[in-house]
Chains A and B, each alone.
Chain A
Amino acid sequence: MKILVPVKRVVDYNVKVRVKADGSGVELANVKMSMNPFDEIAVEEALRLKEAGKATEIIVVSIGPKQSTETIRTGLAMGADRGILVQTDDIVEPLAVAKVLKGIVEEEEPGLVILGKQAIDDDCNQTGQMLAALLGWAQGTFASKVDLGDSTVDVTREIDGGLQTVKLNMPAIVTTDLRLNEPRYASLPNIMKAKKKPIAEKTLADFGVEATPRLKVLKTAEPASRQAGVKVASVDELVSKLKNEAGVL
């Protein structure tokens, strides 16, 4: 069984993003970029399934600019077998991403597609669900455990108030939550080996997908900032302020 893992190149988790003064977006020039953290968890889960003898090949795919090759190489250095880059400099919304991925799924016929539950740039949390819908497949979103059977997969999901386990017919879509696993670091020999692994290059046109955004971004602004308040000297003063000044007790 093949596993397909889509990965996205995003601003690194530790970078504090700045909104451009003219409100046209956030500053992306000279900012450190990395693989979306939820996608790293997706790659790791695929690797673990392969190591357990339940998968034969792991394909990492990214849709984005030429530099997304680095993101694919990160996945290959972790242990994935080959990559596909769908190169575009356009902004590609989740719906269009899902359409491209559908095309790739039809070519590659994986038994599972494992995706991050959301990208930490646009925070949309849509692509996995949309891909499942377009394929007519079942979905196990926000997964904290994946238990692979012969023709089904049990996915334990993080839901409001606790956990839910669902059984999905395969092929299926899984999207990862934070606690599914802890991704490995690529070792130096594996980073070297990854340089020789193949990456196929495609375009949006190969899949008949247009990237024209459906959402027009009118403005990007700083969030309302919060002013620091006062320091209190004691618990008694705190309680008195909460009662008399803030009126919340």
Chain B
Amino acid sequence: MGQEKYYSLKNVIFLIIIIALIFFPYVADSRTLTILMTQVFIFSILAMSYDILLGYTGIVSFGHAMFFGIGAYTTAILLSMYDNTMMIFLISIIVGMIFTGFVSFLVGLLTLRLKSHFFAMLTLAISGLFLVVAEKWRTVTKGNDGFTFRAPDLFRDRVFFYFFVLVCLVVAFLVLRRFVTSPLGKVLIAVRENEQRTRSLGFRTLHYKVIASIVAGVVASLSGSLYAISLRFVNTSVMSMDITLDALLMTIIGGVGTLVGPIVGSFVIEIAQHYLSGLANDYPIFERWIIFFGMLYILVVIFFPKGIVGTVYVKYLTWKSKKSRPQQPKQSVPLVKDKERLE
């Protein structure tokens, strides 16, 4: 597609959205909305990191929660053991990242040799073991009851925390975008499309998959640290299967294989969760709001089979190609990334 222009439509839209988000806490009068948006950003980071695995490398992991959980626990434990200063918090993020990097390296070496289903189940098993460790190592983690801790004083101010997380999200987005557009990222996409052929071209695919797993794990650890701060509380639920499933669903709903998709997905899911459960207070029919939530998943698969962003993007491309070159509809076909992701 050639060199990307600085003033391309995409970049302008990004800029507008970021400016809108900067003014958001001053426009929205309620604290709840600011906290909700902070939550959306945190899960966006998690879902983006998951998309490195699912969307770009084409591997389904059921163990992403362990990286998230390690980040959350590292921050919580360091902050409660030492002082609740900003310095300790930043150190805890770094420590968490190094630790997850190491763990994901080992886990990756161990698991990534296996094919689709087997890999997924093995990551499920290993993250299950981490959950058990968190539950049983009571002297450090306080088990299922969890523990509260004091966040750095600056984060008392929810608006400041909002901006901090927003900056993290933007940085993570830019870094990951650089990562996936780099030559290394291209190899990952090649692995997703056809691993055997990539290997026969001379790439050691295992190495690349391990690198993808490390990058995904490190970024997930960042979101875990932020999550712990946002709750000022941590318990074993940060390691649970639910976190992995949330990341998975956000990625699929938004659109796999794009970095914007996971952000959109996490926005849709968090907002839907918030408002549907809020409706339950007013209308008794929404007391079982999870039903509507489940229907949302089903409807997304039927009407947006490539995720929201993916479907919109394909629509946009066909519209554009129709407009510019009406004779060549096939030009847009290779961009449709509906290859089977698991095999």
Q: Do A and B come from one complex?
A: no
Could you tell me which A residues sit within 8 Å of B by CB distance?
A: none
